[in-house]
Amino acid sequence: MVCTVRGLVKTYPAARGRRGAPATPAVRASDGIDLDVVRGEVFGLLGPNGAGKSTLVRQLTGLLRPDEGHVRVLGHDLVRHPERAARLLGYLGQDSTALDELTVALAAETTARLRGLETRAARAERDAVIEELGLGEVAGRPLKKLSGGQRRLACVAAALVGERPLLVLDEPTSGMDPVARRAVWAAVDRRRAERGVTVVLVTHNVIEAETVLDRVAVLDRGRVIACDTPAGLKALVADEVRLELVWRTEPPLDVPEVAALWKTVETARAGGGAAGRRWTLRLPPDDARAAIATVTGGPAFAALDDFTLATPSLEDVYIALGGRAEGAEGLVKA
């Protein structure tokens, strides 16, 4: 067991209102979290904005002291000895500004030196990680002058230098293009394969979550509402499929079958009056088949622009588990 969390509670205290700034209530950002992460797995934390993902990983890395509960990482009690975290794990914060004025190469080298490497080893690691992540072209430029995705990639580079058995990455690929993202996942995977490195990461990208993660914990309002393999989570809703219908303008609610479908619509978006032009339905396969027959034949067909039928994704799981509806939007930030 690389990482064990039991009964973790963290409340941000209420802030009194100052002039111009309204008072904010206390926020229970971790509300009794239990987690187990085993060696060599890529463990994902998924959830809407404000779910408490960053708060959780900051407690895993000894940066934030929990109000209650235990955090054990590689056999060390990090609540009692938070300073040991720096010698056990590599951390990438959600927004990292400490390196902003350094060049990419110097940021990686300095971080390696501060992880305790000798000068020569630090330079070798610097060159290796710059090569690995394809940062060669921007290596001599200060982070501040890079694009958002490049800067993030440089921060990932700094997080990866110096061997650590556990990597904790808070949204490592946010803002990156597919090539950069693939480079990051390849680098993470290589460390896992070659050295058995364990990775705990926060992500909003559902597609990525399905492909790179071994297990996923879905967080909502400071609680873990589900924790399983992506396939296991999808099995929770596997007896349903998702049907999306797009109407050209107004949905033809005067057609009785369509009016019946409208009652089961889960979300409706994008204009088109009260009913919305874009419908998402979650149905048993037979019902979905019947629904498609209805909308592709008969009078409704004239109003239909497009339809999609898909097996459930993690997003569907999230919604089925009772995540907030507006949170579902936040889940898909890519």
- Show contacts with ligand ATP in window 80-109 (CB under 6 A): 94
Using DSSP's 3-state secondary structure scheme, residue 25 falls into coil
Q: Which helix (H) or strand (E) holds 190?
A: helix 178-195
Task: Kindly state the number of chain residues that form the binding site for ligand ATP, as judged by CB under 6 A.
Answer: 12
Q: Which is nearer to Mg ion, 45 or 104 (CB)?
A: 45
One residue of 3, 5, 27, 35 binding ligand ATP per CB under 6 A: 27
Q: Which is nearer to Mg ion, 10 or 242 (CB)?
A: 10
Kindly identify the residues of this chain, within the stretch 273-332, that bind other proteins according to CB under 8 A. Answer: 280, 285-286, 288-289, 292-293, 296, 301, 304-313, 315, 332
Which strand ranges, in their side-by-side order, compose the sheet holding 42-46?
89-92, 166-170, 198-202, 42-46, 215-220, 223-228
> Using the rule CB under 5 A, which residue among 94, 127, 265, 276 binds Mg ion?
94
The answer to whether 54 touches 133, Cβ cutoff 8 Å, is no
What the block records as the tokens of 302 is: 């004239």
Question: Rounded to the nearest 5 degrees, what angle is found at the Cα of 51, between the Cα atoms of 85 and 278?
Answer: 140
Nearer to ligand ATP, 64 or 180 (CB): 64
Count of residues in the chain: 334
Gap between the Cα atoms of 163 and 121, Å rounded: 11
Task: For residue 85, give the amino acid letter.
Answer: A
If you ran DSSP here, which 8-state letter would residue 83 be given?
G
User: Nearer to other proteins by C-beta: 28 or 123?
Assistant: 123
Beta carbon nearer to ligand ATP, 95 or 254: 95
The residues in 49-78 that bind ligand ATP, with binding defined as CB under 6 A, are 49-55
**Using rule CB under 6 A, residue 230 touches ligand ATP:** no
Residues 62-121 that bind other proteins (CB under 8 A): 62-65, 72, 74-76, 82-91, 93, 95-99, 101-103, 106-107, 109-111, 113-116, 118-119
Of the pair 130, 241, the CB lying nearest other proteins is at 241
Per CB under 5 A, contacts with Mg ion among 24-63 are 54
E strand intervals along 13-152: 27-37, 42-46, 68-73, 76-77, 89-92
Contacting range for other proteins; rule: CB under 8 A; set: 20-28, 199-207, 256-264, 319-327: 199-207
d(CA 34, CA 179): 35
Give the separation between CA 79 and CA 83, rounded to whole angstroms: 9
Among 30, 55, 59, 61, contact with other proteins (rule: CB under 8 A) = 61
- Which residues lie near ligand ATP (CB under 6 A)? 12, 27, 29, 47, 49-55, 94
